[in-house]
Structure 1
Amino acid sequence: MLKTMTIGLMAISTVSFAGGLQEPVKPINPDSSNFYLQKGITEKDAGRLQVSLKHFEKAISFDAGNKAVLAQLAPVYYDLRKYQQSKDTYKQLVDLGDASAANYQQLVNLSFNLKQPDDVILYAGKLKSVDPSARVSFYVGKVHYEQENYGEAIKYLTAAGKEDPANAEAPYMIARSYADMLNYKQCIPFFQKAIELDASKNNWMYELGLIYYAIHEDKQALKYILMAGEKGYKKDNEYLENLGIAYLNSGNLEEGVKILGEILKKRPSDLNVLNMVAEAYYYKGKYQQAMDYWDQVLVYDMQNASAVYMIGMCYQKKGDKDKGQQLCDKAIQMDPSLAALKQKKSMPGM
């Protein structure tokens, strides 16, 4: 009898569906998410990241809170250079309770690469709270530097140098912070430390050369500009002009004029370079050569009163006082401000 009743119930159930009753909505099958998760892992292990991504995204569509899927999805997004999606996925993991140091480190890195400074500082603090030994000072220091907050930048970059003494970027960024504040002498030891840690950075050497030039330490300026060139810094016109100036300022007239002469072959009407060569010859007492270059200035700018004045000075230095004085007076008529130079017996711009 019991057996008959069971059969009867089954029959009633069958008749109910056959009678047109609506089939209830099937619940989400958690096995579907796991099925695509495993397919994604297989493709990932085979190196087919794009295919694995499709499977992981399919898996997460079945179960948005599946941390195992999110943990696979986040690094795949990263490897495929989908950085914002990667960051969003790591954030999901943290929000779901997986607030591990590894996940916070990824959020710091991604926020830094995506140039999201507020998030760098936010996640660096959270990382430090779960792992006090985490090295986050460099990221925070660089963010402060980019925001021109140099005091905080120096503070965190100094800490970064202690966290990782081999990180050449830390002293370099400190050097740049001081340089941007025009504190050139303070920045020099940090440039030197950075170059000591990474001798391949020719642009750092060039920058240091220009810093020395700015504070009139000419031999050091020449040393580092030459070093930059030897290490592969591009020897364009700007580099060669600064190198030529460094030679002139160091007292090597012949080498300086030679380099600037090469620039003039490419830029014959560069009045700045013509004036520099003329002045260099003048200071060395080579007045005829100085006059020749100031004459070239007048070829391109006949109203250049300063050039006329200096040609007059050259004549006077050569012993032709009258002619020299006439030219100086003519220059003063062209530009009355030069009258002050006559009394000081100095050069324009001095």
Structure 2
Amino acid sequence: MKKLSTLLLFSLFSIWCYAQNAPVLDKDKLFDLYQSQRYADAAVYLKNVLGDDTQDLKALTQIGYCFLMAGNNVEAEKYYSKAYQIQPQSLSILFSLGNISTKRGNNDKAKKYYGEIVKIDSNNFNVYKLLTNLYPSAKDSLRFVYLLKANQINPNEGDVADDLAEVHAVNQNYDKAYEVLDIAIRADRENLVLQRAKLPIANQLKKYPEVITSGEILMKDGTDAGVIKDVAKAYYYTKKYEKAIKLFSKLETLLMQNENTLYFTSLSYRALKNYKMAAFYTKKTIDEAISPNTSSYYALLGLVYEENSQFALANSAYKKGLQFKVSPTIYYRLATLYDTKLKEPKAALHYYNQYLRSKPDAENDKSEIKFTKDRIAQLNLTD
């Protein structure tokens, strides 16, 4: 807050000095507006006193700054753009225009302004960091280029190191990712974000003792599913299966398990020759790997085949869906497929009965249930 007040006072002083040879500003009023953070009122006051058509650089940037602080990005861009026309190589103006463009979702304009900063000052760390945010995908080559440049300028900065390590890891350059994080951690040993980011990379490099030592300390700081998983894997790879199972089970208790953690739990039990639990967790792994919507997807696929008169394929798709989940909808579609398209009444009767046994919704499926009961009665008469 003290830093902000100093900045505002300096800005106020600049405008006041300018005002010595211009329309008179009430510096006390302007100071009060700044102090109370009434930036919109300050912008309007400055515009009214200095004139909307002013060409003075300090006045333009100050009005633009007030509008920016007030959240009025349209007016802020208007005044900063005027200032840009007067002094196109001003870093502060370019940064402001880039910031405004980013806030308004115009990334192309932001890239343009930040690109101009790079041409003026090729070693400006802040602009490279801002540019990386405009390329959010870790697979984007330009994100890598800008992160690399920023990291070269300041290898100790944690956010850039973390992001660069992620890009290296995506490209499976684990040694480089580890080195980037290691340098930043040495500069800030209490940075838990960097330490957490380092664990999976250290696991990839088979630095299991380091993962266990660091991870156990991190787990005392709080519950982090990623940390627990990485430490559990390190215990598995060092053949400390009981400790691995204990941590994997903790994830289940916290409802943070996934296909991968269940798989390693199964492997741990298998290594201990506890085949009953190994089989149990293998089944859980399979269940976790299968989407609960898989049967619905096969139901849709079967319907598409059926509507295209590909009845054999529709039949196979419907039955495949039943392998994942019992579905009244699929039973009904199979019944009508055999009844109306394949002309196999015995099979149709079987699936109509299966449909009723699967307990369809009495309210939402009222018409289908009635049709099914009527059709079963008709098929039984002709049997």
What is the TM-score normalised by the length of structure 1?
A: 0.61
Distance 1:329 1:247 in 2: 30
Matched residue count: 270
Q: 1:120 to 1:168 in 2, by over 3 A?
A: farther
Aligned to 1:155: 112
Distance 1:300 1:132 in 2: 55
Given that 1:209 and 1:221 are in contact with CA atoms closer than 8 Å, whether structure 2 keeps it comes out as: yes
Instruction: For residues 61-87 of structure 1, give each alpha carbon's deviation from its aligned partner in whole angstroms, at most 9, with x where no partner exists.
Output: xxxxx9442285687568756644443
Instruction: For residues 153-176 of structure 1, give each alpha carbon's deviation from its aligned partner in whole angstroms, at most 9, with x where no partner exists.
Output: 212211122234453222211111
Deviates more, 1:104-113 or 1:256-265: 104-113
Code of the residue aligned with 2:185 in structure 1: it is G
Q: 1:110 to 1:224 in 2, by over 3 A?
A: farther
What is the TM-score normalised by the length of structure 2?
A: 0.57
Verify: 1:251 aligned to 2:202, yes or no.
Answer: no
**Gap regions ≥5 residues in structure 2:** 1-8, 291-383
**Gap regions ≥5 residues in structure 1:** 1-48, 57-65, 341-350
Verify: 1:167 aligned to 2:167, yes or no.
Answer: no
Instruction: For residues 128-166 of structure 1, give each alpha carbon's deviation from its aligned partner in whole angstroms, at most 9, with x where no partner exists.
Output: 334455553322222222233322221221112223445
Aligned to 1:187: 143
Which structure: larger Rg? 1
**SS of the residue 2:134 aligns to:** helix
Verify: 1:127 aligned to 2:127, yes or no.
Answer: no
Distance 1:200 1:108 in 2: 34
Distance 1:312 1:257 in 2: 20
Given that 1:141 and 1:153 are in contact with CA atoms closer than 8 Å, whether structure 2 keeps it comes out as: yes
Given that 2:25 and 2:49 are in contact with CA atoms closer than 8 Å, whether structure 1 keeps it comes out as: yes
Instruction: For residues 283-335 of structure 1, give each alpha carbon's deviation from its aligned partner in whole angstroms, at most 9, with x where no partner exists.
Output: x4x33x034321443367479797676455346557x5xx43x4333334556
Code of the residue aligned with 1:194 in structure 2: it is A
Distance 1:78 1:170 in 2: 31
Deviates more, 1:152-161 or 1:80-89: 80-89
Distance 1:229 1:106 in 2: 40
Instruction: For residues 14-44 of structure 1, give each alpha carbon's deviation from its aligned partner in whole angstroms, at most 9, with x where no partner exists.
Output: xxxxxxxxxxxxxxxxxxxxxxxxxxxxxxx
Distance 2:33 2:41 in 1: 8
Aligned to 2:231: 277
Tell me by how many angstroms 1:194 deviates.
2.6
Tell me by how many angstroms 1:253 deviates.
1.2
Tell me by how many angstroms 1:212 deviates.
3.0
Aligned to 1:206: 162
Aligned to 2:174: 218
Aligned to 1:6: none
Aligned to 2:71: 115
Q: 1:145 to 1:68 in 2, by over 3 A?
A: closer
